[in-house]
Amino acid sequence: MQQLLGPGDPPPFSVVNEKGKAPLLLLCDHASKAVPKALGSLGISETELSRHIGWDIGGLDSAIALSKALDAPLVASGYSRLVIDCNRWPGGEGSTPEVSDGTVVPANQGLTQEQIDARAAACFWPYHHEVDRLLDMMTAGDRKVCLLVMHSFTPVMKGFVRPWHVGVLWNDDPRLPEPLLTELRRDPKLVVGDNEPYSARASYEYTLTAHARSRAIPHCSLEVRQDLVETPDNARAWGQRLAPAIHSAVTVALS
């Protein structure tokens, strides 16, 4: 199989606060807009790559602020979701999109299985293997933990202006999302979506299914609207703002 990453390419994941004491693992599936040198620019401009199609704007800075505020370890992906989406089943729907929000991605046209496998081996599996490693470590001795995945979403999609400031995404395990929704809604200034602007019940969702549902640990994703977190300072401020609600929800989920 082709070795996609070479000298000078960034690592496929990063870990923040690995020894954090909180019973919570934070993830950021779309933390980076980096592209392996071997793939050039994917055939799109830097402006396009910097849009929401390339990464979750503000997601990593928000997640790092949460990690610090909660003393929770964080694993963040290292490459653009257009190289391979770390929250989609490899080779499945949305994994290596040929078109994303109207933008044609030339380097993703007609990929062979070998090419998809090479991207997964370089940029997808190392990230998810690290998530498993940390979960194994954190749950040793039957310790209870929660899993929360930080995402961000574009304010307008296909002409629809999304009113939510934050959204909690979950499937069929209410232990973490229900108390989190309750805590977030205590703030009268927040418009909070329940499985908005997306639903975690979609079949293409990978991360929560692969890591949390399989281990039966409380879990959900948290989405923040990108116009609120588009600068590092604003993203960090939102991470700090959301931390108390997450802390309270984790305490309830594990009680």
Cα within 13 Å of Cα(84), Cβ side: 28
Mean pLDDT for the stretch of residues 224-230: 98
pTM of the model: 0.97
Give the H/E segment covering residue 74.
strand 74-77
Which CATH number is 92's domain given?
3.40.630.40
Alpha-helix residue ranges (DSSP H) falling in the chain: 46-49, 59-70, 113-119, 125-138, 177-184, 207, 232-253
Is residue 2 in a domain? no
Mean pLDDT of the region 232-236: 98
- Residue 192: per-residue pLDDT: 98
Q: Are 128 and 86 in contact (CB under 8 A)?
A: yes
Q: Is pLDDT above 90 for 104?
A: yes
In-domain check, residue 4: no
In a domain, 6, yes or no: no
pLDDT of residue 75 exceeding 90: yes
Confidence at residue 62, expressed as pLDDT on a 0 to 100 scale = 98
Domain encompassing residue 157: 13-253
pLDDT, tens digit (0-9, with 9 covering 90-100), for 134-180:
999 999 999 999 999 999 999 999 899 999 999 999 999 999 999 99
The percentage of residues in the chain with a pLDDT greater than 70, rounded to a whole number, is 100
Number of structural domains (the chain) is: 1
Q: Does 8 fall in a domain? A: no
pLDDT for the residue numbered 79 = 98
- Hey, what are 128's tokens? 């998810």
Determine the pLDDT at residue 130: 98
pLDDT given for residue 204 in this prediction:
82
Write the pLDDT tens digit of every residue in 46-66: 999 999 999 999 999 999 999
7 located within any domain: no
Reported as a pLDDT band with limits 50, 70 and 90, residue 1 is low
Question: What is the reported pLDDT for 251?
Answer: 98
What's the rounded mean pLDDT across residues 83-104? Answer: 96
CB atoms within 10 A of CB 29: 24
In the prediction, which pLDDT does 182 show? 98
**169: helix, coil or strand?**
strand
Q: Is residue 2 over pLDDT 80?
A: no
Residue appearing with tokens 């999609």: 157
pLDDT grade, residue 202 (50/70/90)?
Answer: confident
When pLDDT is cut at 50, 70 and 90, the band that residue 123 belongs to is very high
Any domain includes 191? yes
